[in-house]
Amino acid sequence: MRRFTLIALPYLWLLGLFLVPFLIVLKISLSDLNLSIPPYMPQLDISAGWSGLMEFFSELDFENFVWLTEDDLYWKAYLSSLKIAVVATFLTLLVGYPVAYGMARAPSEWRPTLMMLVILPFWSSFLIRVYSWMGILSNEGFLNQFLLWTGIISEPLQIMNTTTAVYIGIVYTYLPFMILPIYSALEKMDDSLLEAAEDLGCSRLKAFWLITFPLSRAGMIAGCFLVFIPSIGEFVIPSLLGGSDTLMIGKVLWEEFFNNRDWPVASAVAVVLLMILVIPIILFQRNEQKQREAEG
Amino acid sequence: MAANGASVFAPWDDPDQTPLIRFENVTKRFGDFTAIDNLSLDIYAREFFALLGPSGCGKTTMMRMLAGFETPTEGKIYIGGQDMGPIAPNQRPVNMMFQSYALFPHLSVYENIAFGLRRDGQPKDKIEARVEDMLRMVRLQKFAKRKPHQISGGQRQRVALARSLAKEPKLLLLDEPLGALDAKLREDTQFELMDIQEKTGTTFVIVTHDQEEAMTVASRIAVMDEGRIMQVATPDRIYEFPENAYVADFIGDVNLIEGTATPSGEDEVTITWAENQQPIRAKTQRKLATGQKVFYAIRPEKVGISKEEPTDVVNKAKGRILDIAYLGNLSTYHVQMPTGEIIKAQSANTRRIARRPFTWEEEVWVSWNGTGGSVLED
Amino acid sequence: MRRFSWFNVTSLTLGFAFLYVPMLILVIYSFNDSKLVTVWAGFSTKWYGELFQNQAFLDAAWVTLRVAVMSSTIATVLGTMAAYTMVRAGRFYGRTLFSGMIYAPLVMPEVITGLSLLLLFIGIGLDRGVVTVVLAHTTFAMCYVSVVVSSRLVSFDKSLEEAALDLGCTPFQAFRLVTLPIIAPAVISGWLLAFTLSLDDLVIASFTAGPSATTLPIKIFSSVRLGVSPEINALSTIMIGIVASGVILFSLISKRNIARAEADARAAERT
């Protein structure tokens, strides 16, 4: 009996507040826009019994999904989100790898401190971390002041409200997610492997490419997924740092819902976004699984 | 056994031979810690040379200096007459078999063995042929495509050996090569190592803390302690004629008896060692002063044990049996003298245990002849 | 024996500068006298004064704190139960679905979680306010808690529980007297994680809060959309300060506990 309560309580909670809401989204995405509150049709009328149910299902259709393909705003937003996520993930990898490598090669008494320094930003507010770049990237911001002072540029650069600013924001906020898995892969590596490679005739650089780099591959893949998956649906970064031409699907969904009050289309956008995300999530799970098997 | 003292292979006794490896007054310090202390040593081509000592004695540092992972603080190391100082690890004619094996986990057995050959840019077919040879030598042809984590510990050890031999190094370094194997496999592998060493004609330098392993495989052994070499000799000389108390104590079981020397004739000395005991008479080449403090080392198996006083031996003492360690084929008796010293004597158990001649608390005689032990200076 | 190479020092310095300089600038300029946030005009704490005069911010902070305490506490209880279920309960009907529901919210875009919960609350006619935000935050936070706690439970020696049962405990007593004290550090970290996630959340709160329960992130977001403001810098500094000292304190305590345990072990060996 106790065992039953133990399982049932979190189970029911998640059913009611995770699965059911998602089914509602799915259902609304198949509904039509209505000008009342709630602004969609049809409503399920339980009292009408079987015929009500039949009627309910007959009125559901894929109109909103058709609409997503017809209006180029949506597929452009999906493509642009994908592009931004891919580029930002790659940039994060470029920034994160040397840091993770430096940490893994640091004297062991330094490593806990370095680790803490990487994790600490993760605990402080995401919103504030994004906000901190607004003062740096704006036209009269610190970056432009600095560049003007050094004489590299004579006119302030327009970085704020561009896609570049979004890249910077994503790299900055998700960097710890990239560093940690790469670090843990590099840290596990046995030093004698590099010595063996040198002993067998490799130069230091060659040993890095032939041994260290391939052995950190699983860490890199994990890090890339951990950055890529949340950046696709990102809302805060494009809306604070991006401009009107920065199209990201999270922002589109938000606007469709709050500004246009078109709930069925917003739901359809959400369903498609999730379908896009399923692929990288499954690939990520596979990578983790393979990793565990290789270690186990 | 082939490599041991009985064979004619003894380049270290031939003054015309030039050594393959020469350590010349090498000192290595890590900060304040002196790992190697002004050490000189010659190792000859085709030797199977063992560096033996407890952990922290500097044997691993010696090996890492040969491989090029450490550079001497002072002194020089020559391999084949060439000063190794400025030469990077990847340029040396030396390969190493790591204690952890250091097999590349992302590469197959085949690719691991081919790794060093590919770095030399040899033609593909030559590499293939060489790897096949190596696989055959270590009997792993069937496992060429496996990854290191898909084979057993003993197989991994053989892959590591094949990989380090693939480039035909002048010198192969083996760092505790059998440390990770269980006892039975270890013994088999020791003989396999000797076999391969003889077949390939490569010079092997092995680092080990296991004296039995060193005795089994090596042509010569250097016993090390605290960065210095205590003795370099063939296994039988190390065992039979240790040069100092450290070596005598480190290799095998020994009775170390402290006493005062009085020279008593040609190559002979008497040692007073305990009250009311007849002094030990021993043969020695050493020139000792009267009254000098010495150690007399004698192996337990050279000490006889009997109920009646023996008449035909030079050295004897009477005591009481304190302890008996039954080892199956042998028994070791700990015999206590009236003055407290304990002398260990060993005898073969040719009879069943019930008919064992001696028992606890019994009064017995221990005895040995004049050439059985060694006289060591303090 | 490892030392820093110049390459590693450079990459670490640049990397950590990138991580910390933006926040450092934010903190420094919260003490700027000028209204212009990018021009230094002398030291002043006047923005902190103005911040504490601003009733809207104080209200939002109070709402956020209440939501965070409530949701993280419920999430810790539910998350620990879920973790215990996943690690210990063995097979039960719908286990795959259950583990799916625990892991899915971790990767679900916040906009979707927020949207779906809002549609649920409207569908069942629940008025939006503090309660709905607490329900929403609890739901995703419990998944994080359950991941943290189950990673500790996996490495936990099951025979300790069996020993407690053998000595006459009921299963509940065994959990309370043996399991819980041992996994307590993970449960506390889980609570802290849930708490900061709730403090931090903008998107889900925006969907589920409604006008009566404006949380601090919602308030900050709506004001920074218009640009950088020194008041927000001051607020950010306070939040960064609280989190940093909290995390450092927590790690110092756990480090001291580890050191003490090691010292005890050494002392025990000597006697």
- Nearest chain A Cα distance for residue B352, angstroms: 50
Which residue in the set A190, A202, A214 is minimally distant from B119, CB to CB?
A202
Q: What is the CATH number of the domain that holds A73?
A: 1.10.3720.10
> Tokens for B288?
């000792």
Of A190, A200, A215, the CB nearest to B115: A200
Chain A residues within an 8 Å CB radius of C244? 120, 123-124
B13: which DSSP letter?
G
Q: Is residue B77 part of a domain?
A: yes
Q: Is residue B85 located within the same domain as residue B210? A: yes
Domain assignment present for B4? no
Note whether C12 and A99 are within 8 A (CB).
yes
The per-residue pLDDT for B377 is: 83
Chain C residue numbers touching A281 (CB-CB < 8 A): 107
Confirm whether A2 is domain-assigned.
no
Q: Hey, what are A197's tokens?
A: 């490679």
Do A165 and A56 sit in the same domain of this protein? no
Residue B211 and residue B283 in one domain: no
Q: What is the number of CB-based contacts under 8 A between chain A and chain B? A: 58
What sign does the CA torsion over B341, B343, B344, B345 have?
A: negative
Chain A residues near residue C92 by CB distance under 8 angstroms? 7
Residues of C in contact with A107 (CB under 8 A): 2-4
Confidence band of A5 (pLDDT split at 50, 70, 90): confident
C136 contact residues in A (CB cutoff 8 A) = 17
- The residue with tokens 């023996």 is B310
Model's pTM, two decimal places?
Answer: 0.83
Query: Could you give the CA distance from residue B31 to residue B38 in angstroms, rounded to a whole number?
Result: 16
- The residues near C215 (Cβ < 8 Å, ≥ 6 apart) are C60, C63, C64, C67, C133, C201, C205, C209
Looking at the structure, tell me whether residues A56 and A181 fall in a common domain.
Answer: no
φ, ψ of residue C22 to 5 degrees: the values are: -55, -45
Contact check, Cβ <8 Å, B116/A294: no
In the numeric block, which tokens belong to residue A43? 């409503």
Residue A64: pLDDT band (50, 70, 90) is: confident
Domain membership of residue A43 as a residue range:
24-61
**Residue pLDDT, tens place only, C78-107:** 999 999 888 887 778 888 889 889 988 888
Please write the tens of the pLDDT for every residue from C21-43: 999 999 998 898 887 777 788 88
**In the listed set B222, B246, B270, which residue is the last one of a domain according to the structure?**
B246
Task: Answer whether A199 touches B (CB < 8 Å).
Answer: yes
Other Cβ atoms closer than 10 A to A211:
23
Q: B193 lies in a domain?
A: yes
Number of structural domains found in chain A = 2
Q: What is the mean pLDDT of chain C?
A: 87
Q: Which residue of A has its CA nearest to B100?
A: A192
pLDDT digits (tens, 9 = 90+) for B101-125: 999 998 999 999 999 999 888 899 9
Q: Please state, in angstroms and rounded to a whole number, the distance separating the CA atoms of residues A68 and A153.
A: 43
How distant is the Cα of C30 from the closest Cα of chain A, in angstroms? 11
Residue A255 main-chain phi, psi, to 5 deg: -70, -40
Cβ neighbours of C134 in A, within 8 Å: none
A193 touches chain B (CB under 8 A): yes
pLDDT at A285 over 60: yes
Report pLDDT digits (tens) over C190-242: 998 999 999 999 999 999 988 888 999 999 999 888 778 888 899 999 988 98
Q: Which residue has the tokens 């993930």?
A: A89
| Cβ-Cβ contacts under 8 Å for A83 (sequence gap 6 or more) | none
CB contact under 8 A, A201 and B98: no
H or E, element range at A144: helix A142-150
Residues A144 and A264 in one domain: yes
ipTM of the complex: 0.87
In terms of Cα–Cα distance, which of B52, B64, B55, B78 is closest to B28? Answer: B64
Last residue of a domain, one of B192, B211, B246: B246
Return the closest-CA partner of residue B206 out of B65, B35, B2, B48. B48
With an 8 Å Cβ cutoff, is C91 touching chain A?
A: no
pLDDT > 90 fraction of chain C, expressed in percent and rounded:
39
Domain boundary among B201, B223, B246: B246
* pLDDT computed for residue B208 by the predictor: 93
Q: Is residue B5 part of a domain?
A: no
Q: Quick one: DSSP state of residue A208?
A: I
Contact (CB<8Å) A239/C225: yes
- Is A154 part of the contact surface with chain B (CB cutoff 8 Å)? no
* Cα–Cα nearest to B364, from B343, B348, B378, B349: B343
Contacts of A175 in chain C (CB under 8 A): 15, 18-19
User: Mean pLDDT, to the nearest integer, of A278-291?
Assistant: 85
Lowest mean pLDDT among A16-25, A70-79, B170-179: A70-79
CB contact under 8 A, A107 and C4: yes
In the predicted model, what is the mean pLDDT of residues A123-143?
Answer: 89
C156: confidence class by pLDDT, cuts 50, 70, 90? confident
Give the pLDDT mean for A18-23: 91
The reported pLDDT for the residue numbered A37 is 58
Question: In chain A, pLDDT over 70 holds for what percent of residues?
Answer: 91
CATH dotted code for C54-227: 1.10.3720.10
Interface contact flag, B89 A196, Cβ < 8 Å: no
Per-residue confidence (pLDDT) for residue C1, from 0 to 100: 43
**Above 70 in pLDDT, residue A46?**
no
**In the predicted structure, residue A190 carries a pLDDT above the cut 60:** yes
- Using omega within 30 degrees of 0 as the cis cutoff, is the peptide bond preceding A121 cis? no
**Number of neighbouring beta carbons within 10 Å of residue B89:** 24
Going by pLDDT thresholds of 50, 70 and 90, the confidence category of residue A86 is very high
A195: chain B residues, CB-CB within 8 Å = 67, 69, 89, 96, 98, 102
Contact B119 A214 (CB under 8 A): no
Q: State whether residue C107 sits within 8 Å of chain A by CB.
A: yes
Would you call A123 and C25 a contact, using CB atoms and an 8 Å cutoff?
A: no
Q: Which domain holds residue B232?
A: 11-246
Q: Which residues of B touch A211 (CB under 8 A)?
A: 104
Q: What is the pLDDT of residue B133?
A: 92
pLDDT for residue A98 is more than 70: yes
pLDDT at A44 over 70: no
Instruction: Say if residue A296's pLDDT is above 80.
Output: no
pLDDT for A21 equals 92
Apex CA A130: angle with CA A124 and CA A135, to 5°? Answer: 115
Domain range summary for chain C, segments of one domain joined by +: 54-227
Note the pLDDT of residue B1: 40
Quick one: average pLDDT of A249-273?
87
Over 90: is that where the pLDDT of C137 sits?
A: yes
Task: Work out the minimum CA distance from B174 to partner chain A, whole angstroms.
Answer: 12
SS3 label, residue B152: coil
Contact partners for chain A, using 3 or more CB pairs closer than 8 A, are B, C
DSSP code of B176? S
Where chain B has pLDDT below 50, the residues are 1-6
